[in-house]
Chains A and B, each alone.
Chain A
């Protein structure tokens, strides 16, 4: 049974600069921020290491941090430029019953994060949902398609803070 502090130290000396920082100031859950292109190696280590054994991914959620600058888009509506889209991983070990929260953030223009689908098959659909609703591209994911929205929805990614509903979809009026 290890608390997130010890796990952070283990990861820090194993992966060095790939682990950016350990934030425990805000209420409730402390989390570790990690570089996006290293995430799968870190998760493989967390999965295999026999004193950690994070064998179950509880939840994988995409978040639009909306920390970029407000700017006027082409057709006048304000869009956010710069800033990051981040992905939170809630991991858990059913053997040792300890939990961990990882966070990676990728730039808004081309958000690329390595996929952890090969480690936890559970991440497959969650990553497809994060791609569908946020546009976060997961590298070497078997079939990264939209999952909740219609497959040919080309009006962007709905859960982004600067998302505008399209006027028509296949001739059907979208906003009622």
Chain B
């Protein structure tokens, strides 16, 4: 009579150190091997879309910040571009440059959190603190311009709330010079570390077809070897003025599309963002940032789908306006919501420790998953 073994259901519950927020993963285990992963979300659902229907267009911006609270600047960027498309406003050149600079700084800050927490999920605690030390410098740059460190409400429909602080350009250049060697230090500590490579190579391999079919975008898609970046393939704002290249996963350590590739794409992207910031800081024109801000935002009846390259992936806003001051419907296509959907597909057959590594490598923020 065969030994009757029955699978163990392990709840990696809402309160778990490695779930990047309030997420419950229901793991079906056979010993340590995973049979299936069932994510349960909704613990952090704050009804953003219902709120947005009761707010005026400018009042929605503080709510948009709170979706992906690690990349608020870029959430605002997507929303503001969408409403400006609806209104048909053309913002002055200086505003475009400042938005690109702030967006790329926010990308570095968001990647630093992703890399830091990923190192901690694998067990190395020190890189987490190095990443947060550098991130604090970016946050103080933001604080200098708009006064807040995490939720800015800085991009407004048609312009910005404040102009740049007089010595912002100088301290931003200082930061770029200060931060470049630190990326190399991170590489020594984590990227080339043999134990880190053992833990991440050939783990959670995401083949390219399933990635596109599941709608995966951003660093996770580029990790699977597909050169797809909205800043180049569907250019918005003035990204076509800067030259930077798109890093993709080449499977240097394991197969293409494993956790290590997604991680290494993020490291290289920080490098590219530094290049963009330097170019943008040099070509920064003068001008008034609040000139194109309309007194009352009242777009015509219509709908628009604007999408931007959020640090986590493609962030899309589908805004329907019925001609009144409040938006009729805003649907947000959050990259983390989509990336969490693929967990079940890539976690099969791995071990419990790998689920944490995979969850860390797809880099989700629960604020954006639950909206």
- By a beta-carbon cutoff of 8 Å, the part of chain A in contact with chain B is 26-29, 31, 55-59, 61-64, 88, 90, 94, 97, 101, 120-122, 124-125, 133, 146-150, 158-159
Contacts and interface: CB of A to CB of B under 8 A. Distances in A.
Contacts of B236: none
Interface stretch (B91-99, B212-220, B247-255): B212-220
A59 B214 contact: no
B297 to A, nearest CB: 14
B86 A59 contact: no
Secondary structure dominating the interface of B: mixed
Contact of B314 (A58, A101, A120, A148): A58
A148 B41 contact: yes
Contacts of A120: 213, 215
A97 B305 contact: no
Contact of A28 (B45, B47, B85, B233): B85
A120 B88 CA distance: 33
B88 A56 contact: no
Contacts of B302: 26-28
Interface in B312-371: 314, 316, 318, 320, 329, 331, 333, 337-338, 340-341, 345, 370-371
Given A26-B303, A29-B303, A147 B42 contact: yes
Contact of B88 (A27, A122, A147, A159): A27
Given A57-B215, A97-B234, A124-B341, A27 B304 contact: yes
A121 B226 CA distance: 19
Nearest to B331: A61
Interface in B39-73: 41-42, 45, 47, 49-50
A90 B316 contact: yes
B148 interface: no
B367 to A, nearest CB: 13
A122 B329 contact: no
B210 interface: yes
A125 B210 CA distance: 15
A59 B42 contact: no
A146 B318 CA distance: 22
Contact of B213 (A28, A58, A121): A121
B8 interface: no
A122 B329 CA distance: 22
B228 interface: yes
B301 interface: yes
B50 to A, nearest CB: 6
Nearest to A143: B38
Contact of B338 (A27, A88, A97, A122): A122
Nearest to B330: A61
Nearest to B370: A148
B42 A94 contact: no
Contacts of B31: none
Given A28-B302, A61-B331, A101-B305, A125 B86 contact: no
B42 A149 contact: yes
B233 A122 contact: no
A121 B214 contact: yes
A58 B305 contact: yes
Given A28-B302, A29-B305, A90-B318, A58 B42 contact: no
A58 B215 contact: yes
Given A148-B370, A150-B42, A29 B212 contact: no
A27 B215 contact: no
Contacts of B337: 125
